[in-house]
Amino acid sequence: MEAAASTTNTDSSIPKWHISGDWFDVCSCDIPCPCIFAQSPTNGVCEGILAYHIKNGNYGQTYLAGLNILAVSYFKGNIWAGETKADFAIYFDETANEDQRNSLSMIFSGKADGFMAEFAKVIGEVRAVSYAPIKIGVSEDLVCWNAEIPGKVIARAEALSGPMTPPGNRV
C-alpha cells in the first residue's frame, strides 16, 4: 500500500520532513478489520503489527529512503471512540545511522508534527523502542506482503479473492 506523510508544522526548530513508501498492518481481527471503520475490534481486543518501508524521504537534511519501521500494538476496546489507547513496541531499522534514528524517532513519536502527531494521540504506552533487522516485502502486483524481525515477529497478508474475481487474480 502506498502512503505518504509530511510535516505541516510552523515550528522552525523542527525540520521540514516528508516520507513516502509502503505500509500495511495485520491484526487479530476478522476481515475486514472493524477498526478501519472506527468500530471495536472483533473480539474486543486488537493485537496488530504495523509495517512501514520508506521508499523516499528526508527529515531536514537527513535522508531516510530504504529504512523500515515495525510496530507491535495492543489495545482493548474501540480506540477511535476514545475508549482506550494502544500500547506499542517500536522497532527501527538497525541499519539507520544516529541522525536517521533520531529523525525516525521524531517522526514516528509524533514530535515532528504531521499525520504521525495525530496518530500519536491514540498511543498509550510505548513499552519498548529497539533497533532490529527488519525485512519488509510487497509483491509488485500487491497480491501479498510480509514483514519480519527474525526470531521475534512475522506478519504476512494476502489480498482476497471473491466470487466476481477472475481466476488467478485478487481483489
- Is the pTM higher than 0.75? The answer reads yes
pLDDT at 18 > cutoff 80:
yes
Q: What is the pLDDT of residues 83-106, one digit of tens each?
A: 899 999 999 999 999 999 999 999
pLDDT, the chain, mean: 89
3-state SS, one letter per residue, for the chain: CEEEEECCCCCCCCCCEEEEEEEEEEECCCCCCHHHHCCCCCCCEEEEEEEEEEEEEEECCEECCCCEEEEEEEEECCHHHCCCCEEEEEEEECCCCHHHHHHHHHHHHCCCCCHHHHHHHHEEEEEEEEEECCEEEECCCCCEEEEEECCCEEEEEECCCCCCCCCCCCC
Spell out the domain ranges in the chain.
2-158
Q: For 40-59, what is the mean pLDDT?
A: 94
pLDDT at position 7 is 58
